[in-house]
A and B are shown apart, each in its own frame.
Chain A
Amino acid sequence: MTTTVAPPLATRTPSALRRSKRDWRGWAFVAPFMIVFALVFLAPLAYSIYLSLFRTQLVGGTTFVWFANYIQALTDPQFWESFGRVLLFLVVQVPIMLALALAAALAIDSARLRGASFFRITLFLPYAVPAVVAVLMWGYIYGDQFGLTANINQLVGFDLITPFAKQWMLVSIGNIVTWEFVGYNMLIFYSSLKTIPTELYEAASIDGAGTWRTVFSIKIPALRGAIVIATIFSIIGSFQLFNEPNILRPLAPNVITTYYTPNMYAYNLSFAGQQFNYAATVAIIMGIITAVIAYVVQLRGSRAEVQ
């Protein structure tokens, strides 16, 4: 054991190393977690891989079909439509959300903002609001019956804002997700900014660096790790998009289809269509794509850090 992935090794003493040869005591602490973990993570994962290799038909029952489900999914226009939608969502919403979070974290950290702690708490508040409540709230606000949209449209005399229209739906969902998660990402960035040693700022100040110079030369480089983590979480979140469109669906059933996002597709396939094998396949494909992209982001992020 010379190289390690984990940080905690620093506190290890040489005597602890030597004694560790056949030290099983750690398992007493880790075992309870791992048993439940096996039940709710590993078993379903194995089971879904198993399911994806079979197909159940009215005639002939359940048969082993190799990768036929995967081929079906990869040539399924509904799957690709839903995938394209979350990909579009990902490339537009995630940068906006993370940029806002970064700007807010830098502002709150800058010491030039009055009432910084008020803003920190206020911006973080939506994270504590359940997604269901957030979507119901925004859904009513968007609504043309008693929402703010209705108020504004009455004021101008025509339908100025139509959040539920086909071309605006994804923007409306993006707004809700941004509202929910800017504060959370801001806090990740802010916590990371707080770990920058004060001496660094003093040195920069002696060198005559101004606010912007400090931001670009010290703060943003120091945030790289946090940005990578926040990006990965946001990518996973975007590909998993489910709660927001699913809760909004009753308000706009013609716009939000049953295959609006891959996750909704898998959900509706299994619970409305009883196509469990195909649903498992769609879920696995999305899992693989997400894991690969998250891995690439992490690799690029940490390589940039080394340079």
Chain B
Amino acid sequence: MTAPAFARDRVGTTPLRPRRSKTLLIVMVVYAIYTLVPLVWLLVNSTKTQAGLFSSFGLWFSDDFAFWDNLVQTLTYNDGIFLRWLGNTLLYVVVGAGGATLLATLAGYGLAKYRFPGRRAVFAIVLGAVAVPGTALAVPTFLLFSQMGLTNTPWSVIIPSLISPFGLYLVWVYAADSVPTELLEAARMDGAGEFRTFFTISIRLLMPGIVTVLLFTVVATWNNYFLPLIMLSDPQWYPLTVGLNQWAAQAQGAGAQPIYNLVIMGSLLTIIPIVIAFLLLQRFWQSGLSAGSVKQ
């Protein structure tokens, strides 16, 4: 069994024929343009007023540059509800994704490094649950939480976010390879408790795997839509995703008050932090993922 392919010990690209292919480049450029067009559209249109949206070509700027005006309007509309939604999202991400990563790390490590009664049952139950569509459970979860008085509180969004079977799987595979059992034995000889060993030694070895899990749980909670949609009825607790969709829905129906420019600016503000996080941490998630796939 080889150590996970980390960082730069092996660049896995085919080492043969460094001759570049023009055809390949053109095909990939076309695909990259397809990928980027909606994002460029969003960026360009965030500079337009509502009137400008209708009177100008979609992928080019209109005469009036209203980017800052849109930004201020978005942040102050309806007594600054957008900032409230941003705060809610941050709360759900910090507690939900942070908690999910912690639980997945502890459990994945426990599964990888300890033989305990019921270990196989835990494994079977968790893997089996992954096959059950998450949304199939949404309605009963709502009813259950509603009986417990949890709906329409932050807990109704946070608690279900705490479980990441994919994160558990990743840490478990990762821990099996990167934490030598001999090291744990040695720590035990020295009289260190199990949790002390974990928090002082193992956690460092696990760090790239943990960052990967954290990144994916952050994306999952930041982008979460279905769960808060059914759990929350009070806009004061909405995350950005549900709030934005509510803004967008204002444009339809009787008494419609379209605020397209705010929806577009709000969308842009919603994706910027997550895109930056991904770009900054790409070294981690790429190495963490390739470690996970060693065992597929």
Q: Does A10 contact B (CB under 8 A)?
A: yes
A-side contacts of B214, CB under 8 Å: none
Residue contact B136 to A48, C-beta cutoff 8 Å: yes
The contact of B181 among A12, A24, A139, A284, by CB within 8 Å, is A12
Q: Tell me whether B70 is interfacial, beta carbon within 8 Å.
A: no
Chain A residue at smallest Cβ distance from B112: A8
In the complex the two chains form, what is the Cα distance from A32 to B248 in whole Å? Answer: 39
Question: Smallest CB–CB gap between B129 and chain A, Å?
Answer: 5
Q: Are A28 and B270 in contact (CB under 8 A)?
A: no
A112 touches B20 (CB 8 A): yes
> Bound complex: CA of A137 vs CA of B141, how far in Å?
30
CA distance A283 to B134 in the complex (A): 10
Residues of A within 8 A of B263 (CB): 136
Q: B132 to A287, Cβ gap below 8 A?
A: yes
B163-185 CB contact bits vs A (8 Å, 1 = yes)? 10000100011011100111001
Considering residues B138, B176, B245, B296, which has the most beta carbons from chain A within 10 angstroms of its beta carbon? B296
Residue of B31, B45, B195, B292 with highest tally of chain A CB at under 10 A: B31
Give, as a whole number of angstroms, the nearest-CB distance from B11 to chain A. Answer: 8
Counting CB contacts under 8 A, is B200 at the interface?
A: no
Within 8 A of B (CB), among A174-223: 179, 182-183, 187-188, 191-196, 198, 201-202, 205, 211, 214
**A179 in contact with B181 (CB, 8 Å):** no
Contact A137–B38 (Cβ < 8 Å):
yes
Q: Residues of B contacting A179 with CB < 8 Å? A: 34-35, 38
Identify the closest chain B residue to A195 (Cβ).
Answer: B294
A34 and B107 contacting across the interface, CB-CB below 8 Å: yes
Q: Does A169 contact B (CB under 8 A)?
A: no
A127 interface residue, CB < 8 Å from B? yes
Digitize B211-250: 1 where CB-to-A-CB distance is under 8 Å, 0 elsewhere: 0000000010011011000100000000011101100110
Within 8 Å CB of B144, what residues of A? Answer: 43-44, 47
Q: Which of A233-285 contact B (CB under 8 A)?
A: 236, 239-240, 242-243, 247, 250-251, 263, 266-267, 270-271, 276, 279-280, 283-284
Residues in A neighbouring B173, C-beta threshold 8 A: 7-8
Tell me which residues across on chain A come within 8 A of B103, comparing CB atoms: 32-33, 36
**Closest chain B residue, CB of each to CB of A176:** B38
Q: Does A87 count as interface, using CB distance less than 8 angstroms?
A: no
> B129: which A residues are within 8 A, CB to CB?
37, 41-42, 45
CA distance A255 to B70 in the complex (A): 32
- Shortest CB–CB separation between residue B233 and chain A, in angstroms? 10
Q: Which of A60-68, A76-84, A113-121, A159-167 contacts B (4 or more CB under 8 A)?
A: A113-121
Please state if B271 and A191 are interface contacts (CB–CB under 8 Å).
Answer: no
Find B141's partner among A44, A131, A134, A151 (CB 8 Å cutoff): A44
A263 close to B135 (CB less than 8 A): yes
B191 at the interface (CB under 8 A from A): no
Binding site for A on B (CB under 8 A): 1, 5, 10-21, 24-25, 27-28, 31-32, 34-36, 38-39, 41-42, 45, 53-54, 57-59, 103-104, 106-107, 109-120, 122-123, 125-126, 129, 131-144, 159-160, 162-163, 168, 172-173, 175-177, 180-182, 185, 194-195, 198, 219, 222-223, 225-226, 230, 240-242, 244-245, 248-249, 251-253, 260, 263-264, 267, 270-271, 274-275, 277-279, 282, 286, 289-290, 292-296
7 contacts between A and B (CB under 8 A): A29-B110, A37-B126, A42-B129, A125-B275, A133-B241, A148-B59, A276-B139
Chain A residues with a Cβ under 8 A of chain B: 1, 4-8, 10-13, 15-17, 20, 22-30, 32-34, 36-37, 39-45, 47-48, 51, 100, 104, 107-116, 118-119, 121-134, 136-141, 145-148, 150-151, 179, 182-183, 187-188, 191-196, 198, 201-202, 205, 211, 214, 225-226, 229, 232, 236, 239-240, 242-243, 247, 250-251, 263, 266-267, 270-271, 276, 279-280, 283-284, 286-287, 290-291, 294-295
